[in-house]
Homo-oligomer: A and B are copies of this chain.
Amino acid sequence: MGVAPSSPHPAPDEALARLREHRPLVQCVTNAVVTGFTANALLALGATPAMVDLPGEAGAFAAVADGSLVNVGTPHAEQRDGAREVAAASRAWVLDPVAVGALPVRTALARELLAAGPAVVRGNASEVMALAGAGQGGRGVDALHGTDAARHVAEELARTSGAVVAVSGEVDLVTDGTTALRVHGGSELLTRVTGGGCSLGATTAAFLGVCAPLPAAVAAALVHKLAAERAAATAAGPGSFAVAFLDALASLTPDDVGAVAASRVVEAQQGARP
């Protein structure tokens, strides 16, 4: 691949190889709907999940975890305090602004957390636009906007916040404000399973344990899309798809990822703004 093993900017296949070797310890402060699926996705991928979100424990744990996720999907009072501890103590964490926009508690929390400096912000187009103050948010966890509609806002958000911004959708967009990469692939079935997006935030946090934010977000997006494709090939519906998706996260090899990375991860051209 032309990248030294110690580089913080590995290609996605090398990022996966590192993750499998190091089994990063990933803390999740996440919503009540997807805790089980998220932990299973991390275990399947090869990481070590720990759902430590309690005030008085979350901060100390963040300081030793290899990566942390803060997802504001069901931000009850105690968990909001746990989230603040993580934001203050973690070296490398992902903010997932689930359904921000019209809902006031999570929107205020997400903006407060954004100011604390996440390494990556991951959301769908509507969530990223709403977090940046550029839209009204989606319909629950559904995006009303396509990824490309959010590109300008995502780049601006990356520049002002210092975070890598990852916008997921039919095509994913990952940007640090200077470079913007599109990640192609995936399956529509992933939108028919709860936790598809939320688990992507968690696997991004896992990759933060083995590389820098931009390659971490790209590797996570690509691995999810490839696992979704593999699962969709055998699934009879959304139930069997979710099961096969976990199997695919476990069976995907660095070689599988390396074989398609160049064609699936493509730099977005400067003039191609909508």
Contacts and interface: CB of A to CB of B under 8 A. Distances in A.
Contacts of A48: 139-140, 142
Interface string A209-246: 00000000000000000000000000111111011111
Contacts of A104: 56-57, 60
B36 A238 contact: no
A139 B25 contact: yes
Nearest to A141: B50
Interface stretch (A149-157, A192-200, A264-272): A192-200
A251 B235 CA distance: 12
A133 to B, nearest CB: 19
A185 interface: no
Given A43-B194, A48-B139, A60-B102, A247 B239 contact: yes
Interface string A107-147: 00000000000000000000000000000000111100000
Contact of A33 (B35, B106, B193, B243): B35
Interface stretch (A10-18, A69-77, A169-177): A69-77
- Categorize the interface residue count of chain A: 35 or more
A39 interface: yes
Interface in A22-71: 25, 31-37, 39-40, 43-44, 48-54, 56-57, 60-61, 64
Contacts of A33: 35-36, 39, 51
B250 A240 contact: no
A197 to B, nearest CB: 12
Given A33-B35, A33-B51, A43-B191, 17 more contacts: A25-B139, A40-B238, A40-B239, A43-B192, A43-B194, A44-B238, A49-B194, A50-B141, A54-B75, A54-B76, A60-B102, A236-B247, A236-B251, A237-B248, A238-B246, A239-B246, A240-B246
A261 interface: no
Interface string A66-101: 000000011111100000000000000000000100
